[in-house]
Structure 1
């Protein structure tokens, strides 16, 4: 049986890794060719997606740090 702390750590690490991949995908999307036929809306959507992905990455990193700090007894 996996102790609860290890399970929380694994979930937090998985969330952080998903957030990292989402940031990479969102960043790549901003580097693509903009669709000017939509009046720049595709660029705005790409930037909004990147902003949201960065916020999730920050939140997931803070959660993972908190769990690891508790585990280390800090």
Structure 2
């Protein structure tokens, strides 16, 4: 199981605070800041990266309902 962040995200940061796996990219890290015409702008909105273990801690604290479970077909 994995999770994705949808358009209901208000960038409150609760998911990033509870994630013990550093799986939430918030768009505020230096690697995601873009320099456009000399101005600093934030990068992409919050995303869940490949560090996600599927623990569900982020889902439990996301009061806007911005985190969705995505079932992934597994080949056995």
TM-score bracket, normalised by the shorter chain, equals under 0.3
TM-score by length of 2: 0.26
TM-score by length of 1: 0.26
Greater per-residue strand proportion: 2
Greater per-residue helix proportion: 1
Larger Rg: 1
